[in-house]
């Protein structure tokens, strides 16, 4: 520890005061505190001395001959090499206008004479601490610039991983449609947006007819294959980026169709039924067809700000119930 202290570079403070006793007092105070300090008595000498040795801090009097403290500070701040040097004004003037001007030209603090030694040292140490932190930040920024290429690559990889994770979290593993979590989230978002815009929101609920019988006849492995085939048909019916197809649970599916009235939703439902029929997936234990069919409930309404999407969900669920009650393998609409 003693070795480190012996080799540590002292911080250098330049003191500017045209009154020799004041200048000598400040130099003595700073030296006894462990700083390296030197003094000059006029502004012009400040600028020439800085070219030889860059100070960590300047203590600057205001009233000096030829060039006052405000002018010295302005020149320091206008030079890119010296603009970051902290300046503390020390003056006998307690006028508000002088203090305002001191800060306006770039001073960071203002001490009024006569001053207390403890106050001077506290303010000096405060500014030097900020200066140290500023330099540390600059050094860190330089290191970051050197590492920026690898950091960007790492961030891109992380973003890709997060996007993949987000996709997995929102997908049903078997059908690759959106899962129930994503459906609930998206329905809420669409409801709020369309309530503001006063545009229609449609919902289609689908249920594979007699799917339990299908599993009993062909086995659960074939049942999973059947779900995947039906899911593909439903996904293909979703043509717009804003539309969402999801697995609602078991053999039930749901489609969220923003900006879609009941006529548009019925066209989507008819397309699903037609494409599923084209597949001709055998279902010998169905009571309505020799192939796999769907019952569908379709509804559409303009959301209200003071209501919830459960209104739409209940309506679609009831429409699906009516489609089943009327014999299945058909579509029932409400709206």
User: Any idea what the CATH number is for the domain that residue 57 is in?
Assistant: 3.40.50.2300
- What is the rounded CA–CA span in Å between residue 335 and residue 333? 6
User: Could you tell me if residue 153 is inside a domain?
Assistant: no
CA 26 to chain centre: 50
131 with 216, same domain: the answer is no
SS3 of 66-88: the string is CCCHHHHHHHHHHCCCCCCCCEE
Other Cβ atoms within 10 Å of 113 Cβ, number: 13
User: Any idea what the CATH number is for the domain that residue 323 is in?
Assistant: 3.30.70.270
28 with 93, same domain: the answer is yes
235 with 323, same domain: the answer is yes
Active site residue 251: yes
Q: Write the pLDDT tens digit of every residue in 210-234.
A: 999 999 999 999 999 999 999 999 9
Contact (Cβ atoms closer than 8 angstroms) between residue 102 and residue 70 = yes
The number of folded domains in the chain is: 2
Look at residues 248, 245, 261, 247 and name the one whose alpha carbon lies nearest to residue 302.
Answer: 261
Which residue in the list 11, 36, 142, 251 is annotated as catalytic? 251
Pairing label, strands 252-258, 244-249:
antiparallel
116 with 208, same domain: the answer is no
Q: Tens-digit pLDDT profile for the chain (335 aa)?
A: 344 444 457 899 999 998 999 999 999 999 999 999 999 998 888 888 888 889 999 999 998 888 899 999 999 999 988 999 999 999 988 899 999 999 999 999 999 988 899 999 999 999 999 988 888 888 888 888 888 877 778 777 777 777 666 666 889 989 999 999 999 999 999 999 999 999 999 999 999 999 999 999 999 999 999 999 999 999 998 889 999 999 999 999 999 999 999 999 999 999 999 999 999 999 999 999 999 999 999 999 999 999 999 999 999 999 999 999 999 999 999 98
């Amino acid at each position: 520890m003693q070795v480190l202290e012996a080799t540590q570079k002292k911080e250098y403070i330049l003191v500017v005061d045209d009154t020799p006793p004041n200048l000598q007092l400040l130099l003595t105070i700073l030296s006894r505190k462990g700083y390296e300090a030197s003094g000059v008595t006029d502004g012009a000498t400040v600028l020439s001395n800085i070219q030889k040795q860059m100070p960590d801090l300047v203590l600057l009097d205001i009233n000096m001959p030829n060039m006052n403290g405000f002018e010295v500070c302005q020149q320091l701040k206008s030079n890119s090499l010296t603009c970051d040097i902290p300046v503390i004004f020390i003056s006998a003037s307690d006028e508000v206008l002088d203090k305002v001007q001191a800060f306006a030209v770039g001073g960071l603090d203002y001490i009024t004479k006569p001053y207390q030694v403890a106050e001077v040292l506290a303010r000096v140490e405060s500014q030097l601490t900020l200066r140290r932190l500023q330099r540390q930040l600059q050094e860190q920024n330089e290191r970051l610039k050197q590492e920026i290429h690898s950091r960007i690559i790492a961030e891109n990889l992380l973003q890709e991983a997060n996007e993949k994770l987000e996709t997995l979290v929102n997908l049903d593993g078997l059908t690759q449609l959106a899962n129930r979590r994503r459906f609930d989230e998206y329905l809420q978002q669409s409801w709020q947006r369309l309530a503001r815009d006063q545009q229609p929101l449609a919902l289609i609920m689908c249920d594979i007819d007699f799917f339990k019988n299908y599993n009993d006849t062909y086995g659960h492995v074939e049942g999973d294959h059947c779900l995947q085939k039906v899911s593909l048909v439903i996904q293909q019916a979703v043509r717009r980026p804003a539309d969402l197809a999801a697995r609602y649970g078991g053999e039930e599916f749901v489609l969220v169709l923003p900006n879609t009235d009941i006529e548009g939703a019925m066209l989507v439902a008819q397309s699903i039924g037609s494409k599923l029929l084209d597949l001709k997936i055998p279902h010998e234990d169905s009571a309505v067809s020799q192939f796999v069919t769907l019952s569908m409930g379709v509804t559409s309404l303009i959301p209200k700000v003071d209501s919830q999407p459960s209104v739409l969900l209940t309506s679609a669920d009831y429409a699906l119930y009516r489609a089943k009650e009327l014999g299945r393998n058909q579509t029932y609409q409400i709206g």
